Amino acid sequence: MISVDLARRLRDAGVRWTPVSGDRFVVTDRDMDNDVFVLSDMTIEVHRLPEGEVIGFNGTTEWALDSVESSNALWLPRESQLRELLAGCFQRLERGPEEWWLTVAVNDRTVELGDPDVEQLYGRALLELLTG
């Protein structure tokens, strides 16, 4: 799973989230950065209201949350979602002895990045694409 810090940097670089069932997220600015939630059609779902999207926590007893504005939720994209966002820039993914290596084409240059966590690696490559 990508770190909250990397997810923030991706959001700040322009990655936008359209919440769907199965997405992971944290609630920011409420001392809940370590609590990862997953959208589900039964317990945590998106409500699209005229004033904006809210994420509703249905039937939760352990949290004093009814809902949070989607702007207070930080998306933690999965590997497949990060690959999709990289689109045609992806060139190669290889497993090394201690970490994964990813090669992407960014602005007419080739960038090779390494990381032990493949989701973190895809996130770093996307950030490179957006900011490099």
68 lies in the same domain as 95:
no
Does residue 71 sit in the same domain as residue 25?
A: yes
Residues 96 and 65 in one domain: no
Q: Which strands sit side by side in the sheet containing 44-49, from one edge to the other?
A: 44-49, 52-57, 67-69
Q: Is residue 10 part of a domain?
A: no
> Is 13 contained in some domain?
no
Reported pTM: 0.81
Q: Is residue 9 part of a domain?
A: no
pLDDT in tens, 79-131: 999 999 998 899 999 999 999 999 999 778 898 999 999 999 999 999 998 98
62 pLDDT more than 50 = no
Question: Which range marks the domain in which residue 115 is found?
Answer: 79-131
Instruction: Looking at the structure, tell me whether residues 71 and 88 fall in a common domain.
Output: no
- Decide: residue 82, CB within 10 A, 0-12 exposed, 13-18 middle, 19+ buried: buried
How many domains does the chain contain in total? Answer: 2
Closest-CA residue to 6 (of 96, 104, 107, 115): 115
